[in-house]
A and B are shown apart, each in its own frame.
Chain A
Amino acid sequence: MMNSFALDWYFIALILFVGLYCMLVSRNLLRQLIGLEIMSKAGLLAVISSGALTNRLNLAQAVIITMIVIEVVVVAAGLALLVKNFKINKSVDIWKLKELKG
């Protein structure tokens, strides 16, 4: 039987797998961003779980706040690119991203 930390990381690995699967099979940019978000949630949970294990919860919280800021900027920039691309190509399919130059 796994201990609490191992069980947490088991679920974290599963959530990471779900996000990775979404990013791998999807051709839709929005779904890719959803996959990225799910993976970042798994990373965030891994950080807090490690912080709890090593008794450094405050440090883990500080790192998580930084991670959340990074997440927001990445998503905002990604969605902005998606909307711009949609205006140009009328599609959110990554296989049609051929006109991003210049």
Chain B
Amino acid sequence: MTYHSLLFVLTAICAVAAVLAGDLLVGAVMLALVSIGTSLILFDFMAPWAAVFELSVCAGLITVLFVGAVSLVRPSEDSDARGRVKFLVLPLAVAGAAIILWFTLPAFLERLSSGAMPASAHSAAAIGTTLWGLRRPDLLGQVALLAAGVFVIKSIFARKSI
């Protein structure tokens, strides 16, 4: 098994562990490991910018947000604790899905992989050119989205009821 596939396997295992974790804090840490695995895969794909964003924002910031939220709601009763069986069935469900997908997906994926393209002028462009030139509307959308997020949080925790 290659390093690349091994990273995918480890990420999938961490995802299962994040869902199976009885303690929400352990779940949040496992989710951070999923993000780290994803970021290593991105590095392996020669996509360092996306990998760095994934590592700093998803494995860092989002984990901090999750841990903060878990510490705020921890004293409450975990409604999922009563129905743990549904979660314990997950490894079996994943094994079942893996077997079904192994027999059903390959034909479709082989057809998809025939869409491979040769390198073009766009592929040679620097990430800065792509991000600031070709995808400029995306950046405007990101700014608008961040502003919307700040507004949502501000309105949720408003001092006076509106």
Interface residues of A (CB under 8 A from B): 2-15, 17-19, 21-22, 25-28, 30-31, 33-35, 37-38, 41, 44-45, 48-49, 51-66, 68-73, 75-77, 79-84, 86, 90-93, 95
Contacts and interface: CB of A to CB of B under 8 A. Distances in A.
A41 B73 contact: no
Given A58-B130, A68-B58, A31 B15 contact: no
Contacts of A54: 115-117
A52 B45 contact: yes
B27 A59 contact: no
Contact of B122 (A44, A56, A69, A73): A56
A60 B47 contact: yes
Which of the four size classes fits the interface of chain B?
35 or more
Contacts of A37: 31, 34, 58, 62
B105 A6 contact: yes
A55 B117 contact: yes
B113 A3 contact: yes
**Does more than half of chain B's interface fall in helix, strand or loop, or is it mixed?**
helix
B42 to A, nearest CB: 6
Interface in B5-49: 5, 8-9, 11-12, 15-16, 18-19, 24, 27-28, 31, 34-35, 38, 41-42, 45-47, 49
Interface string B98-120: 10011001100110110111111
Interface of B: 4-5, 8-9, 11-12, 15-16, 18-19, 24, 27-28, 31, 34-35, 38, 41-42, 45-47, 49-50, 53-54, 57-58, 61-62, 65-66, 68-70, 72-73, 76-80, 83, 86-87, 90, 93-94, 97-98, 101-102, 105-106, 109-110, 112-113, 115-120, 122-123, 125-127, 129-131, 134-135, 138, 141-142, 145-146, 148-149, 152-153, 156-157
Given A7-B5, A19-B15, A28-B79, A64 B122 contact: no
A94 to B, nearest CB: 8
A70 to B, nearest CB: 6
Contacts of B38: 41, 44-45
Contacts of B146: 69, 73
Contacts of B138: 62-63, 66
A58 to B, nearest CB: 4
B79 A15 contact: no
